[in-house]
Chains A and B, each alone.
Chain A
Amino acid sequence: MKPAKFEYHAPSTVDEAIALLVRYDGDAKLLAGGQSLVPLLNFRLARPAALIDLNRIGSLAYIRAHDGHVQLGAMTRQRAIEFSPLVGERLPLLREATRFVGHLPIRSRGTIGGSIAHADPSAEYPAVLTALDGEVIARGPKGERTVAPAALFETYLTTTLGADEILTEVRLPAMPAGAGWAFEEFARRHGDFAIVGVAAAVWRADDRVTARLATAGAGATPRRLRASEEIVERDGLGDAAIDAAARRASELVEPDSDIHASADYRRHLTAVFTERALKRARERMRG
């Protein structure tokens, strides 16, 4: 269980890293926190010609507020997110989801950019990105572009990022003051990959409810539950409307069966966690 040979590069700038990606023309892998990639290397399921280690690029680790958004550098560690006062205040849904990301020592190394670029559909951050209508910044030899989650996640472990592009930043709109939130998930053991998870946020402005819902683990990509959101936005956050939204949620997802759970069970869990998440978010909502 040792990695196959590779050439190792640890550039100090994003531009150098992009130049290396161009040079290896698809045969290099970017190394972020390594909590998913290094197991694949150890098993030799991945045998890239080169590793481009992003851990020496200090400029990729930051959390800052800007223009109604919170910007998180791709190499921001999950433990930094867990303890960030700014995240706690502006993005409590992200903070709550972080507690479900792996285990403590995984979060010491794991990064938000790595988690999103890895695109495991059962991972928490892709669901939060999807629920909150965030976007990622990708930089390549031709410059920067912003990518919305629906255009980013293609299928299991696959994004639309080019082989010469680096995900450099995650941008999430700050949640409105008074918003309620909840992240609910079922896993066999705390810290294991979710069988199904649901991210929810709700807030009220001018007597109108806005709801945000997305799933993890209920299909090949995170899924925004727009039709369920519309039910509570139209009918409010009473128990009957939440029940209807939860039932609708189980029809919106397209889960697969695997060794961990059947597709039917995942649909069932989607409804259960949509209901629980909306009810807990409702309790936390102010105003």
Chain B
Amino acid sequence: MADIKLTVNGAVREGRCEPRKLLVDFLREDLGLTGTHVGCEHGICGACTVLVNGEAARSCLMLAVQADGATLTTVEGLMRDGKLHPLQEAFREHHGLQCGFCTPGMLLTALDLLRTNPGPTEDEVREGISAVLCRCTGYHGIVKAVRAAAAALAPRS
């Protein structure tokens, strides 16, 4: 068994698990953070994407033990003071979700995209979110939402 201590959404969390436990299962089963979804479990669907030290990564392709000492953000950590994150607000406004299964992965992938490319073109948004499969929306609403969020998040000059 391995002891794991990490920071998730600003809070220090600890757990103990087998080294073979995937990070996504540790988040859901050991820490009770079920906002991160388990989809394909082999790195194709992107539903389990979280931020690891600020970078989007698939939590089904990391072992929990590898996140020891890391700082994570999951979908539960996006709201501030009871208000939706501007990216979440944009998803609501622009119909960026239907069933919501892919949404946590979409949000955290889009956050990393906007961190490294604050003003993406439509093509760049489509390339960025190609990392996550959505079977409901046809992606149009998601693309609109990410571009609207980019404008909302842009530093005002």
A: residues with CB less than 8 A from B are: 1-8, 10, 34-35, 38-39, 41-43, 51, 53, 55, 79, 83, 99, 102-106, 108-109, 189-191
Contact = CB atoms under 8 A, between A and B. Distances in A.
Given A105-B112, A106-B43, A108-B112, 17 more contacts: A1-B41, A1-B42, A8-B19, A34-B62, A38-B43, A38-B60, A39-B43, A42-B60, A53-B66, A104-B131, A105-B131, A108-B52, A108-B57, A109-B58, A189-B130, A191-B127, A191-B130
5 contacts: A6-B20, A34-B63, A38-B63, A104-B128, A105-B109
Contact of B61 (A35, A53, A83, A189): A35
Given A4-B20, A104-B112, A105-B109, A79 B63 contact: no
Taking chain B's interface residues, is the majority helix, strand, or loop, or is none over half, making it mixed?
A: mixed
Nearest to B108: A105
Contact of B57 (A8, A10, A43, A105): A105
A42 B63 contact: no
B116 interface: yes
B61 A2 contact: no
Contacts of A41: 20
Contacts of A8: 2, 19-20, 63, 65
Nearest to B42: A39
Contacts of B58: 35, 105-106, 109
A79 B22 contact: no
A38 B42 CA distance: 7
A83 B18 CA distance: 35
A5 B116 contact: no
Contacts of A102: 131
Contacts of B74: none
Contact of A5 (B20, B61, B63): B20
B62 to A, nearest CB: 6
B30 interface: no
B72 to A, nearest CB: 13
Contacts of B49: 105
Contacts of A42: 22, 41-42, 60
B89 interface: no
Given A55-B66, A108-B52, A39 B131 contact: no
Given A109-B61, A190-B130, A2 B20 contact: yes
A109 B57 CA distance: 7
Given A6-B19, A6-B20, A104 B61 contact: no
Of B46, B57, B112, B113, most A-chain CB atoms within 10 Å: B57
Given A8-B2, A104-B56, A38 B20 contact: no
A108 B20 contact: no
A191 B20 contact: no
B57 A38 contact: no
Contacts of B56: 104-105, 108
Contacts of B112: 104-105, 108
A5 to B, nearest CB: 6
A2 B61 CA distance: 11
B26 to A, nearest CB: 12
Contacts of B65: 8, 10
B142 to A, nearest CB: 14
A55 B53 CA distance: 14
A10 B2 CA distance: 12
